[in-house]
Structure 1
Amino acid sequence: MPKTGYFHNGVPIPVPPDEVLALANNYPSPMYLVLFFDNKRTWQWLPRFKLEPLGVDSTLDKAKLVESRKPAERKAVKKAYEKAILHRCRVTGENTGLSGESENEEAT
């Protein structure tokens, strides 16, 4: 992967650090590289059974948003979810549908 990253539809696509990419060789079965939209923008290799589609099923999304018992964790998950949906929508050109964003506002 390029070290400087690249753009898709004018949106910068993050590039994982080399040390994260090197970890792929440590796993015998297929793993998927995931960028978490937390405050640290963490990268992690995960097996397929640990992955859930984001923004496809609103019922599943809502359930995941309230899964944690701790209010601070729920707030962090909600914030990360909104960042991830916003990023996906900017890349694809879709409307986010998140509250606080007007229907005709264009993504920058």
Structure 2
Amino acid sequence: MMEVANPSCCGDGDKTRRKKRKTMKEALLHNKCQELNEICRDIKCIPPRYTVLPSLEDGMFHAHAHFTCPGYDMSITGGPHLTPDGARCSATAILITELRKKTTEEEEHEHDTNIPS
């Protein structure tokens, strides 16, 4: 049997490396991405298309989400973020908020039209 000189080759090297802990904001944003994927799956709709670009001015990433589904056609730009994934999730969180607003407005409109005069 031969002993490996470099412990990272056999998997022991990860003990000294630490993964950066996500902030609460990052974790919540990530959950928004999962939430939107579940919403799209439930209504049998295609998830939004994203465009993520780095900004030359500030080095941050900016994401644009376009969501099309029967009755909905929305384009949202998220806030700047340090990572592409964070920027995408930021746009997703804003998109979910806007979808909820639109749904609430539609429900209120339906309720108002169903009230007899």
Q: TM-score, normalised by structure 2?
A: 0.23
Looking at secondary structure, tell me which structure has more helix per residue.
2
Q: Which has the larger radius of gyration?
A: 2
Looking at secondary structure, tell me which structure has more strand per residue.
2
